[in-house]
A = this chain, B = another copy of it.
Amino acid sequence: MKLDTYSQATAEINENEALKDAGEQTPKEFFAKKCDGSKKEDTKHGVCPLRELLSRLGDKWSVLLILTLARMPKERARFSELKRSLPDISQRMLTATLRNLERDGLISREMFAEVPPRVEYQLTELGVSILNPMRDIVNWIEGNWTTIITSREVFDQKHPKEVESELQ
């Protein structure tokens, strides 16, 4: 199997490859061994939870919520603060997203028996630990965003028929 082409390409683009602790493998080797995702059942017994968690992270608010909490003092805020920081989110979605993240153990919820009630949410240790890989993704997106935008424009030029994606 020819890995030369790949290694060369990544060497040009990602200079920090060799630094990762799992980085002795190329991503190609790494991915070759897991998560072929060919069958639904793989998701069931946890072989490929990637898609499941990615789709959660990919929902409309989870990541923004994590980032919002990350910026708060002690990574902690109450419901109304979060609502203020994310004006576009509906109350319904804020509640639901917080609930899902709490279920996954990324945030904790502390309720105070006061009146009026007060509830505080905080990134857990686990939630904090995802900030690092998340930063790498953000870095990648930032670094390649103009490339992507340009690529889209070129593509849309070549395919004048209506584009089904209404993004951008």
Contact = CB atoms under 8 A, between A and B. Distances in A.
B102 A155 contact: yes
Q: How many interface residues does chain A have, given as a range? A: 35 or more
Given A49-B141, A96-B164, A67 B37 contact: yes
B126 A133 contact: no
A75 interface: yes
A140 B148 contact: no
Contact of A132 (B14, B38, B144): B14
B68 A27 contact: no
Interface string A17-32: 1011110000110111
A88 B40 contact: yes
Interface in A10-59: 10, 12-17, 19-22, 27-28, 30-32, 34-40, 46, 49-59
Interface residues of chain A: helix, strand, loop or mixed (majority): helix
Contacts of A63: 50-51, 54
Contacts of A21: 15-16, 19
Nearest to A148: B104
A151 B55 contact: no
13 contacts: A1-B73, A5-B75, A6-B75, A9-B125, A28-B71, A31-B135, A34-B138, A38-B88, A39-B87, A50-B138, A51-B63, A104-B151, A105-B147
